[in-house]
């Protein structure tokens, strides 16, 4: 079957893309989907066009675990410019406030940044994919509409201060899901009394994944062979189960595997209530299940 008239390949797994700046997450997804000639694809943990770094692209049935990937911690390198506030909280927006930062010392910037380490309350930015009555906030923001956003609890696990020069602060941040680095930089600027916005952002870690494991699109393109030859490209696909290290694994027997495949819950002994990765007697990944009160119920099946 030729590439021209086929709907795509049934391939499953996750590509770790090192997304370039200037590209939306959806545009990056579509490029990877076309390159792999995949029938189905989705991304998880969207990055702003300004941001670069790790963007997991889920192919085929791996799209079923995208939501579970979102629960993992992330790591970022960020540079923030003091003295200017923008409507988007980054350098792609319009400057709304300008204040002098000349009297602010490196020690003050360090203290302000480190004060956000730990459990904090953070207000999401208007320019975000969060929704209000089904409408993404960024679409409302583009119409000049601003709505009240409730502060959310997030955790800055670790904040490394890399330096401060000419009004630019550089940080490495390890944080929980749901953390907005743009809001973090804006909050640091507010604490210093001069405002701030992001001028560079790069996701360097995602759960147990490091940026060194990710490939740029040009690297993937270089692996394409003759039409219909995807061997080198497919070798870069990670199995879905490897991308979920924080979820415990359980192995079930043949009959239990049949029941699970039909969507039936099964009794399972000596397991605490939790999400689990399910494997059959041949170590084949079946999907994600939920254990409650001694019973295993399938939630996302790979069949």
Terminal-residue alpha carbon distance, the chain:
24
Catalytic pick among 10, 18, 20, 48: 48
Cα(93)–Cα(74) distance, rounded to whole angstroms?
24
Kindly report the backbone phi and psi dihedral angles of residue 147, in degrees, each rounded to the nearest multiple of 5, phi listed first. Answer: -115, 160
Please report where in the chains the tokens 């930062």 appear, as a residue.
101
Report which of 79, 82, 51, 103 is spatially closest to residue 162, judged by C-alpha positions.
Answer: 79
CA 49 to each of CA 24, 144, 163: distance values in angstroms, whole numbers, following the listed order: 5, 21, 25
Query: Is position 226 annotated as part of the catalytic site?
Result: no
Cα(157)–Cα(171) distance, rounded to whole angstroms?
13
CB atoms within 10 A of CB 96: 12
Report which of 172, 159, 158, 166 is spatially closest to residue 200, judged by C-alpha positions.
Answer: 172
Could you write out the DSSP letters of every residue in 33-70?
HHHHTBS-EEESS---TT-EEEEEEEEGGGGGGHHHHT
Torsion-angle region of 255 (φ positive above 0: left; ψ -120 to 50: alpha; else: beta): alpha
Cα(303)–Cα(292) distance, rounded to whole angstroms?
23
Q: Which residues are catalytic?
A: 48
């Amino acid at each position: 079957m030729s590439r021209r008239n086929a709907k795509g390949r049934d391939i499953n797994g996750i590509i770790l893309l090192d997304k370039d700046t200037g590209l939306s997450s959806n545009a990056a997804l579509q490029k990877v989907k076309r390159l792999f000639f995949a029938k189905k694809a989705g991304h998880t943990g969207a990055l702003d066009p300004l941001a670069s770094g790790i963007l997991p692209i889920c192919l085929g049935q791996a799209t079923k675990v995208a939501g579970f990937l979102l629960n993992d911690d992330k790591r970022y390198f960020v540079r923030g410019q003091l003295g200017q506030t923008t409507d988007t909280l980054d350098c792609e927006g319009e400057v709304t406030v300008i204040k002098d930062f000349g009297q602010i010392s490196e020690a003050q910037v360090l203290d302000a940044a480190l004060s956000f380490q730990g459990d904090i309350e953070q207000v999401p930015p208007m320019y975000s994919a969060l929704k209000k009555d089904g409408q993404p906030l960024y679409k409302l923001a583009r119409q000049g509409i601003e709505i009240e956003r409730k502060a959310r609890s997030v955790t800055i696990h670790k904040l490394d201060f890399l330096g401060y020069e000419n009004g630019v602060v550089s940080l490495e941040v390890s944080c929980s899901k749901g953390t907005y680095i743009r809001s973090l930089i804006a909050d640091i600027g507010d604490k210093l009394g001069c405002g701030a916005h992001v001028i560079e952002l790069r996701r360097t870690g995602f759960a147990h994944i490091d940026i060194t494991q990710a490939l740029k699109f040009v690297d993937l393109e270089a692996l394409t062979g003759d039409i219909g030859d995807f061997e080198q490209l497919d070798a870069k696909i990670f199995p879905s189960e490897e991308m979920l290290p924080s979820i415990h694994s359980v192995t079930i027997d043949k009959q239990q595997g049949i029941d699970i495949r039909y969507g039936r819950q099964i009794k399972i002994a000596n397991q605490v209530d939790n999400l689990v990765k399910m494997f059959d007697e041949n170590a084949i990944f079946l999907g994600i299940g939920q254990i409650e009160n001694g019973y295993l119920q399938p939630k996302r099946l790979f069949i």
